[in-house]
A and B are shown apart, each in its own frame.
Chain A
Amino acid sequence: MRLSVLAGVLVLAGWFGAMLGQDWMILLAGLGVIGPVALRESGLVPWRDDFQRETVMRSGLHALLVSIGLLVLVMATEGTGGSTRDGAIHSVDDIAASTVFLLLTVTWGISWLLCFWGPRDGARRILLIAVTMMTALIAAFCVYYFFNDRQILADSDPPAFVFLGLAWAAFAVSRRWPKLAGVILLAALGVLVSPFVGAPAAFPVEAWTPLALILVVPYLIPALALLTYRRDPEEDPA
């Protein structure tokens, strides 16, 4: 399990660095995705058990299917060589490699956490990771602009902070009241998505997929998992 934790840290650190402009750090994310599976399949590091191996493989299959689905959808609706000046995705060439990698990483990670840990504990882990990343990004944003341009901080929208508060509250109650946590998360998503719905022209279509993967999917999936969770009365407490 320590290797999985290390892999997760590498993936998150890599994406975090890349989002802050250090593109080379995406190599860390790649290492986190490929490394553990390569080490285990080569026999250098043993699998904890067959269940762990099966969940990793199944999650990888989910990621592959979702990515193929996206690519096929774009290819099937491919335009006749239109430009990207309007921000739309006209062909598979317009899809950034980073978008595909992000899709693979997010799908694989979320699927594995849910398959291995189960709906409630997996959802809690996904939520913890997502909210921690969001908090770290916003904190970095605040620190940077505090020392460079405080006016931007003063003009920043409160929804982001409201969203964070709701998301952390959802995590806090998720263990004991998973359905309540799911409701809170959906409310948080409503707060988060509302600015995008109100001003679609401000966000190019090509940015929607990464935005959805970073801002919506990591909260929507746990919300649904927590809302539909059925407690097993005979399960031993962790």
Chain B
Amino acid sequence: MYSVLYIVGMSRSRLNNHLRAWRKSAGGLTQQELADRAGVTRQSIISIERGKYRPGVELALKLAQVLGCKVEDLFELKEEGE
């Protein structure tokens, strides 16, 4: 839980984003299907996958729940200097 709050709270943090890989491995969900299951717009998923938008705590948890993984599997902090 601390890692999720840390991800959301640090506006200057840089994330490694594995959402697309998990989405494709979870039965080949389309962006629209994932958006529907997570209760958000397709444009949200597109922007997250492109690294243009950082999801909040609730959405990060929803995505992890839909994809059957942990939030840390989807998003991780980049190492310093990376």
Chain B residues lying within 8 Å of A86, measured Cβ to Cβ, are none
- A176 at interface, CB cutoff 8 A: no
- B3 at interface, CB cutoff 8 A: no
Dominant secondary structure of chain B at its interface with chain A: helix
Partner of B30, one of A52, A116, A236: A236
Interface residues of B in 16-30 (CB under 8 A from A): 20, 30
Chain A residues lying within 8 Å of B58, measured Cβ to Cβ, are 50
B44 pairs with A49, CB closer than 8 A? yes
B50 pairs with A232, CB closer than 8 A? yes
In the docked arrangement, what's the CA distance between A238 and B49, Å? 15
Interface residues of A in 191-238 (CB under 8 A from B): 232, 234-236, 238
In the docked arrangement, what's the CA distance between A64 and B32, Å? 33
Partner of A236, one of B31, B39, B41: B31
A51 pairs with B53, CB closer than 8 A? yes
Dominant secondary structure of chain A at its interface with chain B: loop
Asked if A51 meets B44 with Cβ closer than 8 Å, knowing A232-B50, A234-B20, the reply is yes
Interface residues of B in 44-82 (CB under 8 A from A): 44, 46-47, 49-50, 53, 55-56, 58-59
Q: Chain B interface: which size bin?
A: 10 to 19
Partner of A51, one of B20, B30, B41: B41
Chain A, residue nearest B23 (CB): A236
A116 pairs with B43, CB closer than 8 A? yes
Chain A residues lying within 8 Å of B32, measured Cβ to Cβ, are 236
Chain A residues lying within 8 Å of B31, measured Cβ to Cβ, are 235-236
Asked if A117 meets B43 with Cβ closer than 8 Å, knowing A50-B59, A236-B31, the reply is yes
- B15 at interface, CB cutoff 8 A: no
Asked if A49 meets B39 with Cβ closer than 8 Å, knowing A236-B31, A236-B32, the reply is yes
In the docked arrangement, what's the CA distance between A118 and B42, Å? 11
A54 pairs with B41, CB closer than 8 A? no
- A48 at interface, CB cutoff 8 A: yes
B53 pairs with A54, CB closer than 8 A? yes
Asked if A49 meets B59 with Cβ closer than 8 Å, knowing A116-B43, A118-B43, the reply is yes
In the docked arrangement, what's the CA distance between A49 and B60, Å? 13
A-B contact pairs, 25 of them (CB 8 A): A1-B41, A48-B40, A48-B41, A49-B39, A49-B40, A49-B44, A50-B44, A50-B56, A50-B58, A51-B40, A51-B43, A51-B47, A52-B41, A52-B43, A116-B43, A117-B43, A118-B43, A118-B47, A234-B20, A235-B31, A235-B46, A235-B49, A236-B31, A236-B32, A238-B42
B residues neighboring A (CB under 8 Å): 20, 30-32, 39-44, 46-47, 49-50, 53, 55-56, 58-59
A residues neighboring B (CB under 8 Å): 1, 48-52, 54, 116-118, 232, 234-236, 238
